[in-house]
Amino acid sequence: MQYVLIFDVAESGFRNWWFPAVGLIFVVVGIFLVKNREILPHMFPGQMGPKDGAKLGFFVLACSVLWMAFTFTSTWRDYSGLRNALKEGNVAVVEGRVENFVSIPHKTERFSVCGASFSYSNYGVTAGFNNTNSYGGPIREGMWVRIAHLGNSIARLEIARQDVSKDARCHRSSRLTVPIKPMNLTVPP
């Protein structure tokens, strides 16, 4: 059976770089507050003493740096763990029809394939596939798919190119027998 590659974590790269990068805004604010700590009490008369400006600046700077370090470490571990599991073949694979498909517009999407359940949202910060119908996602009830996954995280999603017989049986394995190498397939128009 031929499949069209829809998502591969290794090919998608580190998509969640933006999440820790949000902290850069607060790093800039913190640096501004630290550099201008002497004038802050004049900007907020009666509310801030001379030492309060320095405390505020260093607090904002420290919190934003900690935010960036924590979120970068967390998102990078998620991405590299899923990518490495796929590359080394340490993922489970299910192949079959999408069943019990539920899409809550602009919220979550969930379905099962051959007894394996999946749930995701466009708003979740995850390395795995998370493109819902309301944002153009491809998953539909009854379609034949092959999914390599680690728990609930979809590392690789492929959709059958042609219709599959109604009598076709789903397949499930606890581990890839051959590690998947990234492929460059395009979705036909």
In the chain, where are the structural domains located? 3-13+90-173, 15-87
* pTM of the entire predicted model: 0.74
Residue 184 has a pLDDT of 44
Does 126 score more than 50 pLDDT?
yes
Does 174 score more than 80 pLDDT?
no
In the chain, the percentage of residues whose pLDDT exceeds 70 is: 87
| Whole-angstrom distance, CA of residue 23 vs CA of residue 43 | 24
Structure tokens at 106: 């602009």
Residue 95 has a pLDDT of 93
Mean pLDDT of 67-85: 88
Residue 187 has a pLDDT of 44
CB 5 within 8 A of CB 151: no
Give per-residue pLDDT as tens, 87-124: 888 999 999 999 999 988 778 899 999 989 999 887 77
Mean pLDDT over the full length of the chain = 82
What phi and psi values does residue 100 have, to the nearest 5 degrees? 55, 40
Residue 164 has a pLDDT of 76
Give the pLDDT band (50/70/90) at residue 159.
Answer: very high
Strand, coil or helix: 35: helix
Does 158 score more than 90 pLDDT?
yes
Residue 143 has a pLDDT of 92
| Whole-angstrom distance, CA of residue 59 vs CA of residue 86 | 41
